[in-house]
């Protein structure tokens, strides 16, 4: 215990002497005269009052230490994955079960201070090991070890007991975690480390996102453990219907082979697919003979309208390039000098057009009504790719389309000059320049020159300049190819023409010229790709869920200005394959975000519809689907990895034990150097000037002094 002051205690002693002097002087003579004993009593009260006040003014702090002893804590981590149950079936009557594992852990730790946890993909605290259930579809040993240290950071963790089969399929390598682990890890090995005969799907590789009308490849990797070479069949199914089959031969034992299937992507939507391979006799498990996956199909059919201010070789070149795209339907309208049109009339509406390419349009013969009609369509969300050529009319362009294009003319000129295409640094990371050797801008300079407009162009705010120009080797800042996304308006502009020459180059330049074809395809795809401007967005947190896993949805709600709405009512209706409807209400999470935990649902595909309302006004809706199936990742390896468990324990300073060795496990933990009681010394500080009893004491002393003075006739 210790007492300290905010100032020197010698000053307090000096102040106390002054207080004594003041008290003595106050009562050395009194009116009326009282006895010496009474004067001494009053003086003492006055001195004590002044001393207490001075004592508190000097900010006294009373310090004392307190020692507490805590018993060591042992964390028990049990692998709850499905592979532990597989070990039960493989061992059968010849070995311990998961129940035996739990019993052994209870016996070994019965006299210890234990914190029990189960883990799969995440760590879960439990009150008792007997309450653990097995069947999780992921095993992340490294995360479980890291999380237990964080969870028990305020407790004297002395050791960790890890019961597992050593098979992890998520997270980092647990050996790296074990090397720097703060306490020893004692592993309990469960499972069969001997090789078992098994043929399994090692992995399925395909595009999770594809477009309608395409043939989608599916590569299936098959592994053979323990069987002689034999034919097998791979089948691709959807809702029980066979989409594709392929045959193969089993590779030598311990090796893999690949089989490729294909299927038609079909119409836009989500497709729940399943791959199944032939079952062989006496396999360790058949759960890994199938694998489910999901493919999202997007609509790629696009209607392109090409408006030309007049006939030109560039129009023909673009027409040839677009006609090579099987997903595109091209409509061409070319204006005559008298204002009429080739190939049909000027469209009265642009609703059927997904994209407009304007080459030299608006031109000299274009009416203000036609130009404004196109401008209205673009401002309404129809993407545009503008190409400036000799038929363009700069004045009409500025009047109608200038605010919607990524570049505008500040000084108009009708002349053109030869120059080269000069790629900017921004192009190297933009989707439009996802081409061969995208970082080599010098390849453009090997192509025939373009006709560059001598008008002065300026990029719009927020636009991305992908190419400028070079004239006679001098780089100029004027944009030649520029793109912009502003709200619902998406536009691209090319301020030069003459790229038709790149379609008729010599053979040694064909590879360079083909890059421009890729750029045009990318521009069209970039313009066509729809932005997610839905006011209500609801989607699952995972592409698919395992049976027994909670199904989670996340949602977002926006108003028409795309500002988050946090106080909406977001209702969800879930419909099963049998037509059963289950209503839910999503919970707000702030800033326009919502969440829903639908709990555990049976395997199958469920459709959902979500509707957001605010004060009885509907803000919007969204639809989607949820796939719940049996995952097989826990069954891709049937042979327990005891060597990994042995390395985890040795690198952390622990040891590995069999399930039957409960006594040895207990002794190893208790003899560990870290298994010691921990004494913690805490220092407590009491700021005496903040304690109310001293105020009461001062008031009491003053009251007693006043009472005695009055009683003795001094007031």
Q: What are the residues whose beta carbons fall under 8 Å from the beta carbon of 654, sequence distance 6 or more?
A: 159, 160, 184, 185, 186, 187, 648, 668, 672
**What single string gives the DSSP state of each residue in 635-702?**
GS--S--HHHHHHHHHHHT--EEETT-HHHHHHHHHTSTT-S-EEEEEEEEEEGGG-HHHHHHHHHHH
Say whether both 36 and 184 belong to one domain. no
Say whether both 353 and 417 belong to one domain. yes
Mean pLDDT of 521-542: 81
Say whether both 228 and 347 belong to one domain. no
- Above 70 in pLDDT, residue 634? no
Which residues does residue 247 pair with via DSSP β-bridges, in sequence order? 233
* Contact in structure between 77 and 163 (CB atoms under 8 Å): yes
Helix (H) or strand (E) holding 600: none
Q: What are the residues whose beta carbons fall under 8 Å from the beta carbon of 445, sequence distance 6 or more?
A: 420, 421, 422, 470
Confidence of residue 639 (pLDDT cuts 50, 70, 90): low
Say whether both 278 and 310 belong to one domain. no
Say whether both 575 and 614 belong to one domain. yes
Say whether both 211 and 326 belong to one domain. no
Structure tokens at 262: 């294909």
- Containing domain of residue 654, as a range? 72-194+639-670
The whole-angstrom separation of Cα 233 and Cα 278 is 6
Which of 433 and 544 is assigned the larger pLDDT? 433
Confidence of residue 583 (pLDDT cuts 50, 70, 90): very high
Q: What is the pLDDT of residues 236-254, one digit of tens each?
A: 998 888 999 999 998 998 8
Domain boundary among 506, 528, 550: 528
Say whether both 343 and 253 belong to one domain. no
- Above 60 in pLDDT, residue 631? no
Q: What is the pLDDT of residues 17-61, one digit of tens each?
A: 888 888 888 888 878 888 888 888 888 888 888 888 888 888 888
pLDDT given for residue 92 in this prediction: 54
pLDDT given for residue 329 in this prediction: 87
- Above 60 in pLDDT, residue 403? yes
**Number of other residues whose CB lies within 10 A of the CB of residue 502:** 21
Confidence of residue 383 (pLDDT cuts 50, 70, 90): very high
Which residues does residue 341 pair with via DSSP β-bridges, in sequence order? 335
Using alpha carbons, select from 553, 415, 419 the residue that is nearest to residue 498: 419
Structure tokens at 108: 């070994």
- Above 80 in pLDDT, residue 402? yes
Say whether both 331 and 403 belong to one domain. yes
Tell me, what CATH number does 281's domain have? 2.60.40.10
pLDDT given for residue 31 in this prediction: 81
Which of 222 and 549 is assigned the larger pLDDT? 222
Say whether both 185 and 251 belong to one domain. no
Number of domains in the chain: 5
Lowest-confidence segment of 208-212, 369-373, 438-442, 669-673 by average pLDDT: 208-212
Q: What is the pLDDT of residues 591-600, one digit of tens each?
A: 888 999 888 7
Domain-embedded: residue 676: no
**Number of other residues whose CB lies within 10 A of the CB of residue 629:** 19
Mean pLDDT of 139-146: 88
Domain-embedded: residue 677: no
Domain-embedded: residue 165: yes
Lowest-confidence segment of 12-16, 313-317, 414-418 by average pLDDT: 12-16
Q: pTM higher than 0.75 for the full model?
A: no
Runs of H (alpha helix) within 495-641: 510-528
Q: Which residue has the tokens 């981590």?
A: 77
Say whether both 499 and 355 belong to one domain. yes
- Above 80 in pLDDT, residue 481? yes
Using alpha carbons, select from 70, 86, 202, 192 the residue that is nearest to residue 134: 86
Q: What is the pLDDT of residues 275-310, one digit of tens each?
A: 998 888 877 777 778 888 888 787 767 889 999 999
Domain boundary among 510, 528, 546: 528
Using alpha carbons, select from 641, 567, 580 the residue that is nearest to residue 191: 641
Using alpha carbons, select from 638, 626, 561 the residue that is nearest to residue 223: 638
Domain-embedded: residue 679: no
Structure tokens at 317: 């070149």
- Above 70 in pLDDT, residue 124? yes
- Above 70 in pLDDT, residue 548? no
- Above 60 in pLDDT, residue 539? yes
Domain-embedded: residue 680: no
Tell me, what CATH number does 168's domain have? 3.40.50.410
Domain boundary among 256, 272, 298: 298
The whole-angstrom separation of Cα 509 and Cα 445 is 11
Mean pLDDT of 397-407: 91
Tell me, what CATH number does 508's domain have? 3.40.50.880
Say whether both 523 and 655 belong to one domain. no
**What single string gives the DSSP state of each residue in 426-447?**
GGGGSGGG-STTTT-GGGGGGS
Say whether both 694 and 618 belong to one domain. no
* Contact in structure between 623 and 609 (CB atoms under 8 Å): yes
The whole-angstrom separation of Cα 475 and Cα 156 is 69
The whole-angstrom separation of Cα 4 and Cα 62 is 7
Structure tokens at 378: 């673009």
- Above 80 in pLDDT, residue 120? yes
| Percentage above 70 pLDDT, the chain | 94
Confidence of residue 2 (pLDDT cuts 50, 70, 90): confident
Domain-embedded: residue 634: no
Domain-embedded: residue 288: yes
Domain-embedded: residue 103: yes
């Amino acid at each position: 215990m210790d007492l300290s002051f905010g100032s020197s205690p010698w000053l307090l002693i000096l102040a106390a002497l002054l207080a004594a002097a003041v008290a003595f002087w106050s009562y050395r003579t009194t009116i009326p005269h009282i006895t010496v004993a009474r004067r001494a009593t009053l003086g003492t009260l006055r001195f004590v009052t002044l001393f207490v006040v001075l004592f508190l003014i000097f900010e006294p702090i009373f310090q004392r230490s307190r020692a507490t002893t805590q018993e060591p804590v042992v964390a028990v981590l049990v692998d709850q994955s499905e592979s532990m149950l597989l070990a039960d079936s493989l061992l059968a009557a010849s070995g311990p079960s998961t129940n035996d594992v739990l019993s052994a852990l209870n016996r070994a730790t019965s006299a210890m201070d234990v914190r029990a946890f189960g883990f799969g993909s995440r760590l879960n605290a439990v009150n008792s090991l007997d309450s653990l259930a097995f069947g999780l579809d992921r095993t992340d040993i490294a995360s479980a070890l890291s999380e237990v240290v964080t969870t028990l950071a305020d407790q004297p963790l002395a050791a960790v007991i890890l019961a597992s089969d050593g098979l992890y399929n998520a997270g980092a390598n647990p050996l790296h975690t074990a090397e720097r682990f703060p306490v020893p890890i004692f592993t309990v090995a469960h499972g069969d480390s001997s090789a078992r005969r098994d043929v399994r799907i090692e992995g399925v590789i395909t595009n999770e996102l594809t477009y309608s009308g395409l043939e989608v490849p599916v590569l299936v990797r098959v592994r053979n453990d323990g069987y002689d070479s034999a034919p097998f069949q791979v089948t691709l199914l959807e809702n029980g219907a066979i989409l594709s089959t392929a045959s193969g031969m089993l590779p030598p034992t311990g090796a893999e082979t690949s089989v490729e299937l294909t299927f038609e992507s079909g119409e836009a939507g989500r497709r729940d697919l399943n791959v199944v391979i032939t079952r062989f006799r006496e396999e360790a498990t058949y759960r890994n003979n199938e694998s489910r996956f999901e493919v999202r199909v997007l609509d790629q059919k696009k209607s392109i309208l090409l408006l030309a201010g007049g006939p030109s070789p560039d129009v023909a070149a673009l027409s040839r390039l677009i006609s090579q795209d099987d997903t595109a339907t091209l409509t061409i309208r070319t204006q005559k000098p008298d204002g009429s049109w080739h190939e049909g009339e000027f469209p009265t509406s642009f609703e059927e057009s997904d994209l407009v390419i304007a080459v030299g349009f608006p031109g000299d013969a274009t009416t203000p009504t036609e130009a404004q009609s196109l401008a209205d369509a673009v401002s309404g969300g129809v993407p545009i790719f503008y190409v400036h050529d000799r038929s363009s009319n700069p004045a009409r362009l500025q009047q109608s389309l200038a605010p919607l294009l990524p570049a505008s003319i500040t000084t108009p000129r009708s002349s053109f000059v030869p120059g080269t295409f000069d790629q900017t640094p921004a192009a190297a990371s933009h989707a439009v320049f996802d081409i061969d050797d995208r970082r080599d801008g010098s390849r453009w300079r090997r192509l025939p020159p373009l006709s560059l407009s001598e008008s002065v162009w300026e990029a719009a705010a927020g636009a991305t300049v992908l190419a400028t120009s070079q004239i006679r080797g001098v780089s100029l800042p004027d944009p030649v190819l520029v793109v912009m996304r502003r709200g619902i308006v998406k536009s691209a502009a090319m301020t030069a023409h003459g790229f038709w020459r790149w379609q008729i180059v010599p053979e040694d330049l064909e590879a360079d010229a083909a890059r421009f074809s890729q750029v045009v395809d990318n521009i069209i795809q970039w313009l066509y790709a729809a932005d997610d401007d839905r006011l209500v967005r609801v989607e699952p947190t995972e592409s698919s869920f395992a049976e027994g896993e909670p199904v989670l949805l996340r949602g977002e709600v926006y108003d028409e200005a795309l500002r988050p709405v946090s106080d909406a009512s977001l209702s969800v209706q879930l419909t099963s394959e049998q037509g059963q409807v289950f209503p839910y209400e999503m919970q707000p999470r702030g800033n326009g975000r919502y969440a829903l935990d639908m709990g555990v649902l049976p395997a199958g595909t469920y459709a959902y519809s979500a509707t957001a309302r605010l004060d009885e006004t509907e803000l919007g809706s969204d639809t989607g689907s949820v796939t719940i199936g049996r995952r097989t990742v826990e069954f891709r390896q049937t042979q327990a990895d005891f060597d990994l468990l042995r390395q985890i324990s040795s690198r952390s300073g622990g040891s590995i034990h069999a399930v039957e060795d409960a006594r040895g496990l207990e002794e190893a933990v208790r003899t560990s150097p870290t298994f010691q009681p921990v004494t913690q010394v805490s220092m407590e500080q009491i700021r005496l000037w903040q304690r109310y009893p001293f105020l009461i004491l001062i008031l009491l002393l003053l009251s007693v002094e006043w009472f005695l003075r009055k009683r003795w006739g001094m007031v």
